[in-house]
Structures are given as C-alpha cells and as structure tokens.
Amino acid sequence: MNLIVDIGNTRAKIAVVDNREVVEQIVVEDVTSDIIADVTHRHTAIHQAIVASTRANAAQVAKMIEEYVERVVAFNPATTPIPIGNSYHTPETLGADRLAAAVGVAALYPERDAMIVDFGTAITIDYVTGGVFRGGNISPGVTTRFRALADYTASLPLCTATEEVLEYGRTTREAIEQGVMRGVEQEIRGYVEDFLLKSCENCTIFTGGDAKYFVKRIKNAIFADCEPVIFGLNRILEYNAEEL
C-alpha cells in the first residue's frame, strides 16, 4: 500500500493507493505531521510514500513522513528515475505535477501518443509521444484570468467560472464570464485540433479542477476519471522500488 502526496500551488492532495487503486483521498491546505499520522493510523499497511511539490518543499515534507513510513521518495524531476523518457531541456525547472501526469498518462494509454491539458491555477498543455515527455506550454488558468481582470482594471468585478454558454454577454458580469470561458475554450480547441491533425490515434486528456467546465464544450477529449498525477506518482514510486 502506497502513500501519495501531491502538493500543488494552492492545496495538497494525499492519496492512499492499494494495488494501483485509490482507496482514500483527501485535500488539505498543508501537509502536517498530524494529518500523516492520522492517515497512516487508518492504513497500517502503508509501507512506502512519494512526495511531489510545486512549492519546492518536497524534501522537507518527505523528511517529516519518514517518521511514519518505512521508505519515502522526494520526487525531483531532474534526478528521480522515471519509467519514460524526458526530453525537456531544463528538468530542474519542470513542475513535478507536469512530469508525473505524463508518466501517469503513458501508463494508462501505453499504445497512444497523448496531449495532457491540466486546468489548474495555470493551464498546462503537455505532450507524451513515443514514450517520451516532449514538453508543452503554460498559460493562465481560469481563476487567474478572472483575478487579473479584477486586479488590473478599475471597475470590473471579480467573476468565477460558469457552465452557462452564451454567444455574447448581456451584462458586464456575463461579458467577463463568457469572455474568459470562451477564450479558454477556443485556445484549447485549437490545441486539440492541431494535435489530432498529426494522427487520429492521438488522445487528449483533460484533468484539473476546472476540466469539468470544458469537457462538454470541446469534443474529442477524454476526462481523466482517475487523476493522472496521482497515478503517475504511484507508478514512479513503484518504478523506483523495482530499481532497488
């Protein structure tokens, strides 16, 4: 049984994986000793863990978890062995979540090339082809775009994501909501269409907190019902255990 800790920009996910199945998952603001103690108390069969973080504190959290788990891996995209190739030119600056998601998707769809769209604080569009992480692009996420409009203008209100689809806004709030949502939609639609032109066998994976708003808007995309980052971190943990 494995403990997976994925620390993102705004929150952390802690998952317990048994035979590649998530048996428990919680979301917290910060990973504390009390939380880890509680999880490991409920799941006494946990024998190894992996920690990934976009906040540069993976090693610190891993050190804390060592008090409760026999073996802990602090995932570093530049140095931790992974079961796929990595052609990113600056792995030391590569987000752990991006590379972990690539590993997860490569394991889930081993016979297909994939584009991974993660709708989070930032939107990342990454590619795994021929069993190699090729890199990708980063743009502002949905909430980030709404905040930018509110913060950098004098009178525009702070809006949030909406499932409503309108041709044009009839109020300032609707105009902002539709402008951001349709702007992201058209941006990602362009990526999807370009990727499918390369091969009809390619697959596009949507994940992240805001993915639910776009999976219905954009055809030819697969919504990841199991989170690729969690699945990928679990695969990396198992791969490193095999290497011992």
3-state secondary structure of 206: strand
Residues 207 and 124: their CA atoms lie apart, in Å, by: 10
Catalytic residue among 6, 97, 113, 118: 97
Q: How many CB atoms lie within 10 A of CB 52?
A: 30
In the residue annotation, 34 being an active-site residue is answered as no
Longest dimension (CA), the chain: 62
Q: Which two tokens stand for residue 194?
A: 């370009």
Q: How far apart are the first and last CA of the chain?
A: 17
Which runs of consecutive H residues, i.e. helices, occur in the chain?
Answer: 33-42, 58-65, 96-108, 142-151, 172-198, 228-243
Contact 148, 140 (CB under 8 A): yes
CA distance 143 to 121: 7
Strands 222-223 and 203-207 turn out to be: parallel
Which residues does the annotation mark as catalytic? 97
